[in-house]
């Protein structure tokens, strides 16, 4: 019996050691899995490596530095991606990879192609470093940060750091208010910074020098009738009368415009003032320069407003979030909603769409943050909505991204559109909705923009988006022919049709009469080789509907009463452009009503 007990004890000890050993192995295995998931066990050969991947506008290169156990830094050293659209991906993806030590990071909405290219380039570099790519692609379960609650107070709180929000912030400050701007994206600019920059305003000094007759009454008529008289006449009048003053105000802040005005796509008249700097950067740079030179305006980036704070029937602040932190911003005077439209929210577009056959599948010119947040917050406080069904499409989208970049036109007067057969199909000076509907009816809803050397006297000449024709040709986004026959071969259209289309256009230019499509906007003939072509497709551009406001920029509720403490400006509002916005009116309108909202909020009791 004693011997059996000893054997039993030995067996128990052996079993115990086996259990402990199994548990130890299991713990080691679990830890190994965690390490693999966090990249800690994905050992590298220390050094700096360059990775390359194909992005939207050509090759993208990253420089990745690693030590034996970790990714130390990632820098994008070369890219040709579109400014504004790609910026959130360029700024966030490398940081997210370093912070998570993982390749399993999410793409940035609205910049998916660029996001994927950055991740591919980083992967290429880490392969050279000997990294365990499979392990790095595993999603890591990072520790949950509880965050903290941060509270601010200002006279005026502005939601949105695009053109409308910043013009409101600067004007409120000029009127004696201290201001906090909340911007959910990692940078300022909104849609303004990636726009073509055209600013419609009657400008006798420039227009008369070019022999152009114009007036605020003509601007009013074209805007009101161009929107099928669906806009609020008082708001339209306020806009067109305020546009020249807004232009002068921008110039007083240091912004520069070119000497000549032009007609922008769908603008209906040559009153578009063009900034001297590329795209819409001049607007944002002007506001940022003011903010940096003056105390009293604080900008909180990566801070997403989620709810308006109410005290009875009055808006008194904003609840927001910034990563893991809760942000509360109290407003002594008022809150200005300037969050933009909902062009980058396909589901919301389709919810309100009553005009177009399909808006779910179309890409957009808008930046990723244009998702209708301000409209949703307005609905929660019983704000009235107007014109939500009016959604503007452009015929000028990039076939891959939907953006405006790559558009080779320099102005309405000096280009034509042809379909895949090489035939013209619409008045290229018509309203945007008219041109887009005509394009949708063409084969594959696809067209070529045709220009000549009048638009590009040299291959270094840049388009309205700061891209040279040489760069676009290198990226296979534009094509060149020394003859129309050669160009037709390049783009795969019938050369006889293309030649006839150009000849008919040139005849109309010479005659100075409306052509077969009713076009009356002409300048030069297309008769100066080389000839260039660029592909375009329909894209969602502007949402004309939104929060209802009055001429003081105050938001109105569903009963027609002003909501105390709540103001709005820019594309988040409705009732100004009616069914169709004229090209060049947006930047002017957001500046006019941004200034109105800023002044009203600063002087509120």
Q: Residue 84: pLDDT band by 50, 70, 90 thresholds?
A: low
Backbone angles phi, psi at 476, to 5 degrees: 60, 35
Q: Please tell me the predicted confidence (pLDDT) of residue 488.
A: 98
Q: How many CA atoms lie within 13 Å of 326's alpha carbon, on the beta-carbon side?
A: 6
**Position 604 pLDDT exceeds 80:** yes
Q: What is the pLDDT of residue 259?
A: 96
Q: What is the pLDDT of residue 17?
A: 33
- The string of DSSP letters for 219-273 reads HHHHHHHHTTT-S-HHHHHHHHHHHHHHHHHHHHTT--EEEEEEPPTT--SS-EE
Whether 8 has a pLDDT exceeding 50, the answer reads: no
- How many angstroms separate the Cα of 218 from the Cα of each of 201, 348, 517? 11, 34, 23
Q: What is the per-residue pLDDT for 23?
A: 37
Q: Please compute the mean of the pLDDT values over residues 191-220 and round it to a whole number.
A: 96
pLDDT in tens, 406-417: 999 998 999 999
Triad 178, 328, 337: Cα angle to 5° = 60
Q: What is the largest CA-CA distance in the chain?
A: 123
Q: Cα-Cα-Cα-Cα dihedral of 154, 157, 163, 167, to 10°?
A: -50
CA pair distance 347, 325, nearest whole angstrom? 28
The whole-number average pLDDT for the span 593-602 is 98
pLDDT band at residue 3, thresholds of 50, 70 and 90?
very low
Q: Exposed (0-12), middle (13-18) or buried (19+): which is 319, by Cβ within 10 Å? A: middle
Residues 350/354/357/360 CA torsion (nearest 10 deg): -10
DSSP 556-590: EBTTS-EEEEEEE-STTEESSSTT-PPTTHHHHHH
Per the annotation, the verdict on 237 as an active-site residue is: no
What is the per-residue pLDDT for 154? 98
| Residues contacting residue 197 through CB under 8 Å, at least 6 positions apart | 274, 275, 277, 278, 279, 280, 282, 283, 464, 587
332-372 confidence digits (pLDDT tens): 999 999 999 999 999 999 999 999 998 999 999 998 899 99
Tell which wins on pLDDT, 87 or 580.
Answer: 580
Closest CA to 374 of 344, 339, 350, 410: 339
Band the pLDDT of 443: cuts 50, 70, 90.
very high
pLDDT score of 210 more than 60? yes
Q: Shortest CA distance to 540 belongs to which of 404, 410, 339, 354?
A: 404
Residue 39: predicted pLDDT: 42
Rounded to whole angstroms, the Cα distance separating 98 from 70 reads 8
Residue-wise pLDDT tens digits, 145-185: 578 999 999 999 999 999 999 999 999 999 999 999 999 98
pLDDT digits (tens, 9 = 90+) for 299-321: 999 999 999 999 999 999 999 99
What is the spatial distance between Cα 458 and Cα 477, in angstroms, rounded to a whole number? 17
The share of the chain scoring above pLDDT 70, in percent, equals 91
Q: Is the pTM of this model over 0.75?
A: yes
- The pLDDT of residue 145 is 57
**Domains located in the chain, CATH noted:** 47-136 (3.90.1010.20), 151-199+278-390+544-602 (3.50.50.60), 394-539 (3.90.700.10)
Say yes or no to pLDDT of 35 above 90: no
- Residue 86 is predicted with a pLDDT of 78
Ramachandran bin of 354, using left for φ above 0, alpha for ψ from -120 to 50, beta for the remaining angles: alpha
Which helix H or strand E contains 371, and what residues bound it?
Answer: none
pLDDT at 24 over 70: no
Is residue 57 within 8 Å of 35, Cβ to Cβ?
Answer: no
- Quick one: pLDDT band at residue 329, thresholds 50, 70, 90? very high
Q: Quick check: 31 pLDDT over 50?
A: no
Residue of 456, 444, 351, 443 whose CA lies nearest to 408: 456
Question: Angle formed by the axes of helices 233-252 and 216-226, to 10°?
Answer: 130
Q: In what order do the strands lie in the sheet with 272-275?
A: 199-200, 272-275, 257-262
Which residue in the list 432, 519, 536, 595 is annotated as catalytic?
432
């Amino acid at each position: 019996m004693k011997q059996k007990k000893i054997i039993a004890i030995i067996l128990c000890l052996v079993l115990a050691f086996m259990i402990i050993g199994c548990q130890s192995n299991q713990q080691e295995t679990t830890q190994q899995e965690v390490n693999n998931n966090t990249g800690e066990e994905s050992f590298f050969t220390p050094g700096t490596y360059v990775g390359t991947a194909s992005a939207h506008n050509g090759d993208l290169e990253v420089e990745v530095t690693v030590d034996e156990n970790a990714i130390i830094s990632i820098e994008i050293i070369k890219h040709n991606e579109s400014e504004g659209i790609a910026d959130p991906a360029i700024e966030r993806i490398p940081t997210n990879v370093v912070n998570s030590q993982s390749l399993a990071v999410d793409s940035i909405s609205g910049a998916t192609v660029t996001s994927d290219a950055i991740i591919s380039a980083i992967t290429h570099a880490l392969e050279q470093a000997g990294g365990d790519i499979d392990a790095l692609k595993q999603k890591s379960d990072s520790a949950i940060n509880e965050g903290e609650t941060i509270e601010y107070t200002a006279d005026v709180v502005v939601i949105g750091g695009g053109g409308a929000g910043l013009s409101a912030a600067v004007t409120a400050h000029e009127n004696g208010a201290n201001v906090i701007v909340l911007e959910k994206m990692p940078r300022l600019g909104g849609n303004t910074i990636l726009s073509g920059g055209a600013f419609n305003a009657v400008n006798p000094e420039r227009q008369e020098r070019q022999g152009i007759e114009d007036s605020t009454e003509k601007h009013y008529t074209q805007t009101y009738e161009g929107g099928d008289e669906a806009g609020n006449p008082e708001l339209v009048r306020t806009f067109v009368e305020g546009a020249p003053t807004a232009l002068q105000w921008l110039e007083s802040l240091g912004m520069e415009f070119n000497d000549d005005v032009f007609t922008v796509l769908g603008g209906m008249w040559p009153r578009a003032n063009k900034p001297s700097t590329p795209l819409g950067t001049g607007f944002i740079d002007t506001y940022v320069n003011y903010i940096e030179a003056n105390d009293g305006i604080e900008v909180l980036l990566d801070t997403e407003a989620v709810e308006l704070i109410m005290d009875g029937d009055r808006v008194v602040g904003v609840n927001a979030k910034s990563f893991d932190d809760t942000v509360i911003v109290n407003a002594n005077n008022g809150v200005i909603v300037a969050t933009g439209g909902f062009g980058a929210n396909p589901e919301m577009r389709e919810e309100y769409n009553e005009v177009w056959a399909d808006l779910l599948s179309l890409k957009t010119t808008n930046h990723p943050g244009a998702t209708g947040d301000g409209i949703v917050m307005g609905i929660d406080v019983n704000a009235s909505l107007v014109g939500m069904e009016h959604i503007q499409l452009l015929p000028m989208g990039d076939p891959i991204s939907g953006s405006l970049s790559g558009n080779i036109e320099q102005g309405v007067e000096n280009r034509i559109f042809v379909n895949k057969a090489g035939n013209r199909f619409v008045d290229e000076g018509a309203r945007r909705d008219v041109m887009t509907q005509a394009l949708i009816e063409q084969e594959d809803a696809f067209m070529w923009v045709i220009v000549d050397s009048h638009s590009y006297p040299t291959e270094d000449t840049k388009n309205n988006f700061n891209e040279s024709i040489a760069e676009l040709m290198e990226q296979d986004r534009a094509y060149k022919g020394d003859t129309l026959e050669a160009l037709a071969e390049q783009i795969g259209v019938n050369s006889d049709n293309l030649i006839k289309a150009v000849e008919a256009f040139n005849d109309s230019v010479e005659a100075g009469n409306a052509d077969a499509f009713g076009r009356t906007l002409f300048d030069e003939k297309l008769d100066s080789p080389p000839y260039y072509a660029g592909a375009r497709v329909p894209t969602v551009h502007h949402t004309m509907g939104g929060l209802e406001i009055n001429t003081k920029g105050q938001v109105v509720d569903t009963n027609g009463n002003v909501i105390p403490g709540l103001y709005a400006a820019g594309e988040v509002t409705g009732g100004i452009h009616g069914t169709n916005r004229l090209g060049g009116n947006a930047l002017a309108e957001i500046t006019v009503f941004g200034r109105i909202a800023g002044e009203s909020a600063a002087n509120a009791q």
